[in-house]
Amino acid sequence: MSDTPRQKPQFCAWCGSPLEYEEHHHEPHFETLAEQARARGEEPPPLPQNVEELMRGDSYIAACPGCRVLSHVISHHART
Give tens-digit pLDDT for 18-63. 999 998 887 788 888 899 999 999 999 988 888 888 888 888 999 9
Q: Is residue 1 situated within a structural domain?
A: no
Give residue 63's pLDDT.
93
Q: Is residue 15 situated within a structural domain?
A: no
Q: Is residue 54 situated within a structural domain?
A: yes
Task: Confirm if 51 and 9 have CB atoms less than 8 A apart.
Answer: no
Which amino acid appears at position 15 of this protein?
C
With a cut of 90, say whether residue 80 has pLDDT above it: no
Q: Provide the CA 10 distance to its chain's centre, in angstroms.
A: 15
From first CA to last CA, the distance across the chain in angstroms is: 6
pTM of the model: 0.62
Give residue 2's pLDDT.
47
d(CA 44, CA 41): 10
Give residue 79's pLDDT.
62
With a cut of 50, say whether residue 65 has pLDDT above it: yes
Q: Which domain holds residue 44?
A: 22-75
Q: Is residue 46 situated within a structural domain?
A: yes
